[in-house]
Every structure is written in structure tokens, then in C-alpha cells.
């Protein structure tokens, strides 16, 4: 099967390449190879390649910067997916699009089902929701929402925490926002499984369990210290209001993945998955 991967240099794109199934002919393109906001170039590429499926793993993911760069965020997260979906529909290419828990407002007290009503709080979430709506105009599209994605490589929460914990004796981390840390390779394997199963519509996928950003950071500190990746750091809880990030974030964004796990297999608990990611990080050090 020939697969077109957009956003190959990002952590999800990197994980998709690393977990690619046998027999897959993958054309992996980063932003240097293709600017997805160039509609003419994008449309021409999809038409000429005639791939069986296209995976859009490209996104503007800087949640705080999006507040000041709304046009850019919407260009990448909303307008480009609309063009990708239209081009895929014309060429008969299946589309897999990756979205986020940030399309929800976080007022729920139970995990968000795929059919829950989106109500994003900030520019990033609104831009991703607009991309979802564009993609869903085409009934053959597969939309996968995930949450708190991280990996041993690239810029993400894990990388930021390890850097700060090395530089400082104490850090403050928000304790009143709850979600599910998800290893990028867990998500990548799920994407391949859903693609193989010819899934359609909206699916949720994360690792199992839930925690706060503070809980995630505490686990990173304890496990990294045991592995000798850092000497130790005090991780102090704070509130989102006191932390004062530019962009609002959902207080609760755990996703209900029960409809997806029968296809993908139930993943490990996020805390166990973190062990493997940190071991990979140590091996690369």
C-alpha cells in the first residue's frame, strides 16, 4: 500500500515512520519538501502520487503562541486540512487526520466520547476544530483525536521537563488539569491499525489511565532520577490561574477510547509507557 505522510518531521510523523508496517510504501514529506499551506502544490502532489491513503500529521501545535498567531494557526490547522481533504476526495485517496483533546472545554467529569460536543477554549483548539469540520465534509475520512502526546525525541512536555529539571532545583507544574499522557509510538501503532481496519469517522486514542500535568512531571522526575538522567528536582504543584499561561486549556480532557481499543488493542497505562520512553531517552544520551 502506498501511503503519503504529511508532517513527517514532527513527533507523530517520526513515530509513524518508525512503526511503519511491512509492505508499506511510505512517501514521507516534511515542511521543506511540501508546504501544506501551498494549496496548488499540495493538490498537484496528491493528484500525481495516487496513494491509497494520506496521513496528515502536520499541525501548528504551539498552544500559547497560537493566541498571537491566529492566522498562521488556522492556515495550518484548518485551511490546509480542507485542501488536503478536497484533493484526497478527487483522487480517491483515503484521508487520516490527527486532532486533539483541546477541541473540548474541559467541563466534563467523565471521559469525552467521540460524539461529545466540541467547545474549544483557545485559538489552537478552535483551529483544530475547524480542521476537523473541514475533514468531516468527506465521509471516507478517518479522524483520530489524541492527547498529551510526547516521545523520546522532539519538542514536547517530557523534553521540556527534563531540561528544566536539569537547570533548576525546583519547578512549578499545573496540578488542576487532567488528561492522559500518550506515547507518540502508541498513537502511531493505533493509526496503522485503524488504517488497516479501514476505519472511518471519529476515533479517540490515548494510552490508558489519567493524571495531571503535575503528576506527569513527578513521574518523569522520579523515573529519570532512577535512570541517572538527572540529579533530582522538586516538582511543586500550582494552579493554572497562578501559572498564567497565555492560552486557556481544558481542566479535564480525558478521552473515551473504548470504541477504538477493540481495533487497536488496549495500550499500556501511561505510567508504564513512560518507562520505555525514558529508557529510549537514556540509550540515546
pLDDT in tens, 124-165: 999 999 999 999 988 889 999 999 999 998 889 999 999 999
Q: Is residue 231 part of a domain?
A: no
- Whether 16 is covered by a domain: the verdict is yes
- The pTM assigned to this predicted structure is 0.95
Asked whether residue 278 is domain-assigned, the answer is no
Q: Average pLDDT for residues 104-127, to the nearest whole number?
A: 97
What is the pLDDT at residue 284? Answer: 80
Q: Is 248 within the bounds of a domain?
A: no
Position 205 scores a pLDDT of 98
Decide if pLDDT at 166 tops 80: yes
Say if residues 217 and 173 touch (Cβ distance below 8 Å): yes
What tens digit of pLDDT does each residue of 20-62 get? 999 899 999 998 898 999 999 999 999 999 899 999 999 999 9
Determine, yes or no, domain membership for 233: no
pLDDT digits (tens, 9 = 90+) for 57-82: 999 999 999 999 999 999 999 999 99
Give pLDDT, residue 181.
Answer: 98
- Specify the DSSP class assigned to residue 125: H
Q: What is the mean pLDDT of the segment spanning 257-283?
A: 95
The domain of 195 spans 2-151+182-209+253-268
Q: How far apart are CA 207 and CA 180, in angstroms?
A: 7
Catalytic positions, please?
Answer: 124
pLDDT tens-digit series, residues 217-264: 999 999 999 999 999 899 999 999 999 999 999 999 999 999 999 999
Alpha helices in 101-233 (DSSP H): 123-135, 157-167, 184-196, 213-226
At 71, which CATH number? 3.40.50.720
Full DSSP string of 24-82: -EEEEE-TTT--TT-HHHHHHHHHHH--SEEEE------HHHHTT-HHHHHIIIIIHHH
Contacts (Cβ under 8 Å, ≥6 apart) of 177? 106, 212, 213, 240, 249, 250, 251, 252, 253
pLDDT (0 to 100) of residue 154: 83
Helix (H, G, I), strand (E, B), or coil: what is residue 200?
Answer: coil
Total tally of structural domains belonging to the chain = 1
> Other C-beta atoms within 10 Å of 4: how many?
25
Query: Contact, 126 vs 134, CB < 8 A?
Result: no
Q: Whole-angstrom Cα distance, residue 171 to residue 163?
A: 11
pLDDT value, residue 64: 96
Q: Which pLDDT does position 17 carry in this prediction?
A: 95
Question: Is residue 59 situated within a structural domain?
Answer: yes
Does the residue 172 lie in any domain? no
Three-state DSSP class for residue 144: strand
246 occurs within a structural domain: no
Amino acid at each position: 500500500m502506498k501511503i503519503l505522510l504529511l508532517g513527517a518531521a514532527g513527533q507523530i510523523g517520526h513515530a509513524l515512520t518508525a512503526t511503519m508496517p511491512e509492505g508499506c510504501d511510505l512517501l514521507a514529506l516534511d515542511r521543506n519538501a511540501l508546504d501544506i499551506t501551498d494549496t496548488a502544490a499540495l493538490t498537484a502532489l496528491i493528484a500525481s502520487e495516487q496513494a491509497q491513503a494520506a496521513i496528515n500529521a502536520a499541525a501548528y501545535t504551539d498552544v500559547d503562541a497560537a493566541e498571537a498567531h491566529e492566522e498562521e494557526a488556522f492556515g495550518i490547522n484548518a485551511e490546509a486540512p480542507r485542501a488536503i481533504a478536497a484533493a484526497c476526495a478527487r483522487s480517491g485517496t483515503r484521508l487520516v487526520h490527527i486532532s486533539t483533546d483541546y477541541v473540548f472545554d474541559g467541563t466534563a467529569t467523565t471521559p469525552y466520547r467521540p460524539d461529545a460536543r466540541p467547545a474549544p477554549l483557545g485559538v489552537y483548539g478552535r483551529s483544530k476544530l475547524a480542521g476537523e469540520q473541514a475533514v468531516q465534509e468527506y465521509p471516507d475520512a478517518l479522524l483520530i483525536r489524541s492527547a498529551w502526546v510526547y516521545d523520546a525525541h522532539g519538542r514536547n512536555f517530557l523534553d521540556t521537563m527534563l531540561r528544566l529539571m536539569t537547570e533548576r532545583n525546583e519547578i512549578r507544574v499545573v496540578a488542576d488539569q487532567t488528561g492522559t499522557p500518550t506515547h507518540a509510538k502508541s498513537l502511531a501503532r493505533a493509526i496503522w491499525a485503524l488504517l488497516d481496519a479501514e476505519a472511518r469517522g471519529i476515533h479517540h486514542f490515548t494510552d490508558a489511565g489519567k493524571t495531571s500535568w503535575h503528576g506527569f512531571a513527578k513521574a518523569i522526575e522520579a523515573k529519570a532520577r532512577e535512570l541517572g538522567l538527572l540529579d533530582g528536582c522538586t516538582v511543586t504543584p500550582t494552579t493554572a490561574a497562578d501559572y498564567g499561561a497565555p492560552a486557556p486549556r481544558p481542566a479535564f480532557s480525558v478521552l473515551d477510547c473504548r470504541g477504538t481499543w477493540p481495533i487497536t488493542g488496549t495500550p499500556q497505562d501511561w505510567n508504564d509507557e513512560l518507562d520505555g520512553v525514558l529508557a529510549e531517552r537514556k540509550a540515546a544520551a
